[in-house]
A and B are shown apart, each in its own frame.
Chain A
Amino acid sequence: MKKIIAASCLAGAVALPGLVQAREVTLTTQLKDYSGNDAYLAIYVTDATGQYQKTLWVAGKKAKYYRHLADWARGSGMNPSEFDGVSGASVGSGRTLKVSVELADTLIDAGYQIRIDSAVEDKRDARADVSVPLTSKGAGKPATGSTYVESFTYDL
């Protein structure tokens, strides 16, 4: 098993630079005016069945609370290499988080989704607070969240 992983990583490393085009995506997440501490957010890509693919951004610095972002935590294994360089501070009630991240072209219009898991201290944990298809048509159109997220927009 280990050997297979090592082999595929190696193949990826060789193949990726030539084949994969990446672009910058701007993620805008506006939170509701809830009463509570700053929210932890995980913004990540899943396939159509909800299987974790890639972390786009993690808001919140204390890894000990990441388990409250349950689906993302399970998918990423909370492995620091998964969110290395794409994490920042937690986001306060009513505030907007705007970040730009690299995204491979192959993930767009290919049946993938962007999801946000969110959590606030002493309040409910929200799995898939936001869940939107990742398509060029959906870019720029705000999606509403279920729990702490007021609206989420990605601009390709």
Chain B
Amino acid sequence: MLRQFHSLPGLIAALLVMLLAISGAMLSVDPALERLHSTSTAAGQVNVSQLAGRVASHFQGVEQIQRTASGTVIVYYNQDGQAGAEKVDPLTGQGLAPYEPSAFSRWMKDLHRSLFLGTPGHGVSGVGALLMLMLSVSGALLLARRLGGWRNLLRPLRGSFSQRWHAEVGRLALLGLLLSALSGLYMCATTFGFIADGSQNEPTFPAHVSAGPALPVANLKALQATDLNDLRELVYPNPNNPQDMFSLRTAQGDGYVDQASGTLLSYQAHDSMRNVYELIYQLHTGEGLWWLGLPLGLCALCVPLMSVTGILLWWRRRKAAPNIRENCTAQSADSVILVGSENNSTWGFANTLHDALHQAGHRVHSAAMNQYTSEYGNAQRVFILTATHGDGDAPASASQFLARLTRVGLKPGLPFAVLGLGDRQFAQFCQYAHQVQDAMLQAGGSPLLELETVNRQSAQEFARWGRALGKVLGQDLTLVHTPEQPRTHQLILMERIAYGEQVNAPTHVLRFKAASELPEFLAGDLAGILPPGSAIPRFYSLASSSQDGVLEICVRKHEGGVCSQFLHNLDIGASIEAFIQPNPQFRPASGAHPVILIGAGTGIGPLTGFIRNNKARHPMHLYWGGRNPASDFLYESELKRYLADQRLTALRAAFSQVMGGSYVQDRLISDALVLRRLIEKGAQVLVCGGREMAKGVMQALDEVLAPINLSVLTLKAQGRYREDVY
């Protein structure tokens, strides 16, 4: 919901907000430029009567003296029927240059506040400010949620280029944009009279004017008492009307000055509404606050970048979202399908189920588990198809399901069926599906079928579940699922470096080039490789980025492993079919915080990729476990080169099959002091390798962190501990 709230107005508003932001950024320079070209006077240095006296010695027929918030003093005069306006030096009263407001700034200002559309345009700009406010607030909430709370708002970010820049620039500009949007809204509200700005309270013209000759302007007491820095405007009396008076406007209030007596009459101090208006006006325009105007302008300049990256993100999410035909609304559906998916493969199964139920005459609604609502009024059954992420966690599209279920509840006795999809290789096979099953029972649902699981996208198991389901529903339900494969690229094996034969852990570093062009990828992303004759891809962490010009993976040969055997036996020059699955969560965050890389065996692959790309020389500490340095020290020479050129700060390797052998966990424990210091400096931890190793690393790190009252769980919550485990 929050995301929709952020992206929908974002799309509509992108153009309008960009226009306002760019014009605002242009205007933000004006106060600083004006300040550069004006002479500032200290408080108490020059008073208005002195200025008027000096001006009188250079100009005749003065009608008006103005001082802008930025300190420019302008004299309007009318000499022998020739009207003129001139900027003057407040210290001498001498003219500096004719005053002509910049036509460009005027044009920009008109664009900014009304898009040249007059009063309706002011309304449109006001809507723009409101949208900016909504975007800033919802964006900040999204970012806080992503980083695990407001306290973590300044933590390093990771993700794809657009994701990272959108958030990085967004949090930099947040305060400025909030200020500009709020003050802009206020100004729009005063324009339309929704909020009073105190400008209507004019002093009344004094009833009595003292008789007698006019004093020289330099002798008027009221002007002597007014500091130049407080002056807004001094309007001279009409020379043909002895009954007329000076009208004096200052920062504090307005009044009239008697030409003969020099006294201030009918003075009216500005009320609080007026003071508020002037303060907010200054905050918005930076007039008289050039040092604020410039950063506000910079913040505004971030808006076009955020608009473009925001639209890109929205478009990608839209493209990635599953396309469901004949999807009924939540309210009208008799069958609801909820999907928990990490990378959309579960959606393929859901789609097949959706089509089959639709064919059987049901009204079907499919949605992500995170969209669970209370609106299933007509539902007679709920199906939940879910994968499991990591160590028994919820997949991305189900991360909030259990909380929502607890909050919203379930129609009592509603029949449901949970289908878990996973891979039996993992210890926590379909763990999350079991959690969901328990939660649904607890919420009062009645199981339509027992929990079933599908191993490795097995079409047979899925079809079997469909038949069981059909029996319960009293219908013939045929579920034929053909997994949709992403578009693959043909890659040609260029180079093979073999390690570990002697220690019974044959491991190859394989480098491929593209038959035509390499797809876009970064180290840490996954390559899905289809061994010949298999429809199910195996995923390998990438040790290179597409910029390196090769696709590099590190593969250990497993007994009975179809794909690893295939890759180990592949001839140089032979080709494979592969596709890229982005894994933006697993890569070093932006910023200069230290990075602790931990891995064992082939887990070194992506970690080496990170080090190779560490061109900014941020501190990176590598902990890695192998068997014997003589046989399986993967990437040894390359890592030593990186140590020498400081892409790698420290290399701590542990070997298990040598005298006094140790594991990477032991290395962590013995290095506890260093690790604690790094963590305290804000380091992030990236772990890559087998599941058992990851578990051991977590225990070891908990032990290391205990003295500083931290745990891996806290680091995880802060987004500082990421794993790529297989």
Binding site for B on A (CB under 8 A): 35-37, 49-50, 61-64, 67, 70-71, 73-74, 77-78, 122-127, 146-147
Q: B197, A124: Cβ atoms under 8 Å?
A: no
Q: A50, B241: Cβ atoms under 8 Å?
A: yes
B202 within 8 A of A: yes
> Please, could you name 22 A-B residue pairs with CB atoms under 8 Å apart, sorted by A?
A35-B103, A37-B110, A50-B240, A50-B241, A63-B200, A64-B197, A70-B235, A70-B247, A71-B238, A73-B202, A74-B205, A122-B101, A122-B106, A124-B64, A124-B76, A124-B83, A125-B235, A126-B83, A127-B63, A127-B238, A146-B78, A147-B83
Nearest neighbor of A74 in chain B, beta-carbon distance = B205
B707 within 8 A of A: no
Q: B85, A36: Cβ atoms under 8 Å?
A: no
B657 within 8 A of A: no
Q: B200, A64: Cβ atoms under 8 Å?
A: yes
Collect the chain A residues with CB atoms within 8 Å of residue B76's CB: 124
Known contacts: A124-B83, A146-B83. The answer to whether A77 contacts B204 by CB under 8 A is: yes
Collect the chain B residues with CB atoms within 8 Å of residue A127's CB: 63, 238
Q: Which 10 A-B pairs have the closest CB atoms?
A: A64-B199, A124-B76, A122-B101, A74-B205, A35-B103, A67-B202, A124-B85, A147-B83, A50-B241, A70-B235
Nearest neighbor of A123 in chain B, beta-carbon distance = B101
Cα–Cα, bound, A52→B101 (Å): 32
Collect the chain B residues with CB atoms within 8 Å of residue A74's CB: 205
Nearest neighbor of A128 in chain B, beta-carbon distance = B238
Collect the chain A residues with CB atoms within 8 Å of residue B202's CB: 67, 73, 78
Q: A36, B106: Cβ atoms under 8 Å?
A: yes
Collect the chain A residues with CB atoms within 8 Å of residue B560's CB: none
Other than A35-B100, A71-B238, give 6 A-B pairs with Cβ distance below 8 A. Answer: A67-B202, A122-B106, A124-B83, A124-B85, A125-B235, A127-B63
B81 within 8 A of A: yes
Collect the chain B residues with CB atoms within 8 Å of residue A63's CB: 200
Q: Give chain A nearest CB distance to B260 CB in angstroms.
A: 19
Collect the chain A residues with CB atoms within 8 Å of residue B103's CB: 35
Binding site for A on B (CB under 8 A): 63-64, 76, 78, 81, 83, 85, 100-101, 103, 106, 110, 119, 191, 197, 199-200, 202, 204-205, 235, 238, 240-241, 247
Q: Give chain A nearest CB distance to B248 CB in angstroms.
A: 13
Q: Give chain B nearest CB distance to A32 CB in angstroms.
A: 12
Q: B235, A146: Cβ atoms under 8 Å?
A: no
Q: A37, B247: Cβ atoms under 8 Å?
A: no
Cα–Cα, bound, A61→B202 (Å): 18
Nearest neighbor of B254 in chain A, beta-carbon distance = A67
Q: Give chain A nearest CB distance to B462 CB in angstroms.
A: 69
Collect the chain A residues with CB atoms within 8 Å of residue B81's CB: 146
Nearest neighbor of A67 in chain B, beta-carbon distance = B202
Cα–Cα, bound, A49→B243 (Å): 11
Q: Give chain B nearest CB distance to A87 CB in angstroms.
A: 14
Q: A124, B106: Cβ atoms under 8 Å?
A: no
Nearest neighbor of A127 in chain B, beta-carbon distance = B238
Q: Give chain A nearest CB distance to B249 CB in angstroms.
A: 9
Collect the chain A residues with CB atoms within 8 Å of residue B63's CB: 124, 127
Collect the chain A residues with CB atoms within 8 Å of residue B64's CB: 124-125
Q: Give chain B nearest CB distance to A60 CB in angstroms.
A: 12
Cα–Cα, bound, A63→B85 (Å): 26
Q: Give chain B nearest CB distance to A40 CB in angstroms.
A: 14
Cα–Cα, bound, A122→B101 (Å): 7
Q: Give chain B nearest CB distance to A19 CB in angstroms.
A: 31
* Highest count of chain B CB atoms <10 Å: which of A50, A71, A74, A124: A124
Collect the chain A residues with CB atoms within 8 Å of residue B199's CB: 64
Out of A36, A70, A71, A125, which one reaches B101, CB within 8 Å?
A36
Q: Give chain A nearest CB distance to B191 CB in angstroms.
A: 8
Nearest neighbor of A70 in chain B, beta-carbon distance = B235
Cα–Cα, bound, A63→B192 (Å): 11
* Highest count of chain A CB atoms <10 Å: which of B101, B110, B191: B101
Collect the chain A residues with CB atoms within 8 Å of residue B119's CB: 61
Nearest neighbor of A61 in chain B, beta-carbon distance = B119
Collect the chain B residues with CB atoms within 8 Å of residue A78's CB: 202
Cα–Cα, bound, A63→B198 (Å): 12
Q: Give chain A nearest CB distance to B185 CB in angstroms.
A: 18
Q: Give chain B nearest CB distance to A90 CB in angstroms.
A: 9
Collect the chain B residues with CB atoms within 8 Å of residue A124's CB: 63-64, 76, 83, 85
Collect the chain A residues with CB atoms within 8 Å of residue B197's CB: 64
Q: Give chain B nearest CB distance to A147 CB in angstroms.
A: 6
Q: Give chain A nearest CB distance to B208 CB in angstroms.
A: 14
Nearest neighbor of A64 in chain B, beta-carbon distance = B199
Collect the chain B residues with CB atoms within 8 Å of residue A147's CB: 83
Q: Give chain B nearest CB distance to A115 CB in angstroms.
A: 12
